[in-house]
Chains A and B, each alone.
Chain A
Amino acid sequence: MAPRRWLATLAVLAGLSPFLAVLAREFEISQREWRAAQQDVAIAQRARELFQQGARAEAIATLEARLREDPDDADLRSLLGAWRLRENDLAGARRELEQVLARHPSHVGAYNNLGLVADREDHADEARHCWEEAIRLAPGHTKAHENLGNLELREGHWAAAVAQLQSAAQVDPASAEVRARLGVALLRSGNVAAARSELTRALELDPDQPIARRNLAELETRAATP
Chain B
Amino acid sequence: MAATTAQPARSGYIASPASDWFFLIAAPLVAAVAFLPFAVFPVLTFQTQDLRFRGSFMEGFIQVVIYAHLFIVFFRSHANPAIFRTHPFRFAVVPVALFAAVYTSTWALIAIGVLGVWWDVYHSALQTFGIGRIYDLRAGNDLEAGRRLDQLMNLLLYAGPILGGASLALHMQAFSNFAEVGSAFFTSIPARAEAHSRWLTLAVLAIGIPFSIYYVWRYWRMQRRGYRVSLQKAALYGIVAVVSIVCWGFNSFGEAFFVMNFFHAVQYFFIVWHIEGSGLTQRTGFARLPNGRYLVLAIFLTVGLGYGIWTTGAWPWPALQPSRRGLAATLLTVSILHFWYDGFIWSVRKGQVR
Decide yes or no: A19 and B53 within 8 Å by CB, A14-B298, A26-B314 being known contacts.
no
Let me know if B308 is at the binding interface, CB within 8 A.
yes
Interface pick from B43-51, B127-135, B321-329, B333-341: B43-51
Q: B302, A104: Cβ atoms under 8 Å?
A: no
- B22 close to chain A: CB less than 8 A: no
State A61–B130 Cα separation when bound (angstroms).
64
Complex alpha-carbon distance, A7 and B290, angstroms: 11
Known contacts being A18-B302, A30-B57, A34-B42, is A8 close to B52, with CB within 8 Å?
no
Q: How far is the CA of A25 from the CA of B309 in the complex (A)?
A: 13
- Nearest-neighbour CB distance to chain B for A121, whole angstroms, equals 30
Q: Determine whether the beta carbon of A30 is less than 8 Å from that of B294.
A: no
Residue of A nearest to B61 (CB): A23
Q: Which residue of A lies closest to B48 (CB)?
A: A33
CB distance from A166 to the nearest CB of B (A): 15
* Contact (Cβ within 8 A) A19 B46: no
- In the bound complex, CA of A12 to CA of B61 (Å): 17
> Which chain A residue lies CB-closest to B297?
A11
- A22 lies within 8 A of B50 (CB): no
Q: With A10-B294, A23-B61, A37-B46 known to touch, is A29 a contact of B51 (CB < 8 Å)?
A: yes
Q: Which residues of B contact A7 (CB under 8 A)?
A: 291, 294
A159 → chain B, closest Cβ, in Å? 19
Using Cβ atoms and an 8 Å threshold, which residues of chain A touch B314? 22, 25-26
CA distance A29 to B56 in the complex (A): 10
Instruction: Report yes or no: B294 in contact with A33, Cβ–Cβ below 8 A.
Output: no
Contacts A15-B297, A15-B299 given; does A22 touch B309 at CB 8 Å: yes
Check: A31 CB closer than 8 A to any chain B CB. Answer: yes
In Å, the complex CA distance between A121 and B277 comes to: 69
B49 touching A16 by the CB < 8 A rule? Answer: no
Contact among B44, B57, B297, B309 for A19, CB-based, below 8 A: B309
| Chain A residue with the shortest CB-CB distance to B291 | A7
Q: Are B48 and A15 in contact (CB under 8 A)?
A: no
CB under 8 Å from chain A, chain B span 223-260: none
CA distance A171 to B171 in the complex (A): 22
0/1 per residue, A16-56, Cβ < 8 Å to B? 11110011011101110110010000000000000000000
What is the chain A residue whose CB lies nearest that of B314? A22
CA gap between A12 and B52 in the complex, in Å: 25
Q: Given A26-B51, A104-B49, does the pair A15, B305 have CB atoms closer than 8 Å?
A: yes
**What is the minimal beta-carbon distance from B37 to any residue of chain A, in angstroms?**
11
Nearest chain B CB to A68's CB is how many angstroms away? 19
Among A18, A25, A30, A104, contact of B44 (Cβ-Cβ < 8 Å): A30
* Contact among A11, A23, A33, A104 for B46, CB-based, below 8 A: A33
Task: Please give the distance in Å from A12's CB to the nearest CB on chain B.
Answer: 7
Residues from chain A with a CB closer than 8 A to the CB of B299 are 15
CB nearest to A7 among chain B residues? B294
Chain B residues with Cβ below 8 Å from A104 are 49
Main secondary structure of the interface of B (DSSP, over half): helix
CB-CB contacts below 8 Å: B41-82 with A: 42-44, 46, 48-53, 56-57, 60-61, 64
Q: Which chain B residue shows the least CB distance to A104?
A: B49
Chain A nearest Cβ from B211, distance in angstroms: 38
Residues of B278-298 whose CB lies within 8 A of A: 291, 294-295, 297-298
What is the minimal beta-carbon distance from B324 to any residue of chain A, in angstroms? Answer: 16
* Chain B residues near A31 (CB-CB < 8 A): 43
Chain B residues lying within 8 Å of A10, measured Cβ to Cβ, are 294
Q: How distant is the Cα of A17 from the Cα of B53 in the complex, in angstroms? A: 17
Partner of B308, one of A19, A27, A29, A37: A19
| Chain A residues closer than 8 Å to B297, beta-carbon distance | 8, 11-12, 15
Select A11's contact among B60, B294, B309, beta carbons within 8 Å: B294
Give the shortest distance, in Å, between B333 (CB) and chain A (any CB): 23
Q: Does B271 contact A (CB under 8 A)?
A: no
Least Cβ–Cβ distance between A162 and chain B, in angstroms: 19
Select from chain B the residue with minimum beta-carbon distance to A32. Answer: B50
Distance to closest chain B CB from A120 (angstroms)? 30
B12 interfacial contact with A, CB 8 Å: no
Question: Given the complex of chains A and B, what is the CA–CA distance between A18 and B291 in angstroms?
Answer: 21
- Given known A8-B294, A11-B297, A19-B309, contact A30–B48 (CB-CB < 8 A): yes
Query: What chain B residues lie within 8 Å of A37 (beta carbons)?
Result: 46, 48
Chain B proximity of A25: nearest CB distance (Å): 8
A residues apposed to B, CB below 8 Å: 7-8, 10-12, 14-19, 22-23, 25-27, 29-31, 33-34, 37, 104
Q: Kindly list 17 other residue pairs between chains A and B, CB separation below 8 angstroms, not including A8-B297, A30-B44, A37-B48.
A: A8-B294, A11-B294, A11-B295, A12-B297, A12-B301, A15-B302, A18-B305, A19-B64, A19-B305, A26-B52, A27-B57, A29-B48, A29-B51, A30-B57, A31-B43, A33-B50, A33-B51
Name B's A-contacting residues (CB within 8 A): 42-44, 46, 48-53, 56-57, 60-61, 64, 291, 294-295, 297-302, 305-306, 308-309, 314
Enumerate the 5 nearest inter-chain pairs by beta-carbon distance, A residue then B residue, closest first.
Answer: A15-B301, A11-B294, A14-B298, A15-B298, A11-B297
18 pairs, A vs B, C-beta closer than 8 Å: A7-B291, A8-B294, A11-B295, A11-B298, A14-B301, A15-B299, A15-B302, A19-B64, A22-B309, A23-B57, A27-B57, A29-B48, A29-B50, A30-B43, A30-B44, A30-B56, A30-B57, A37-B46
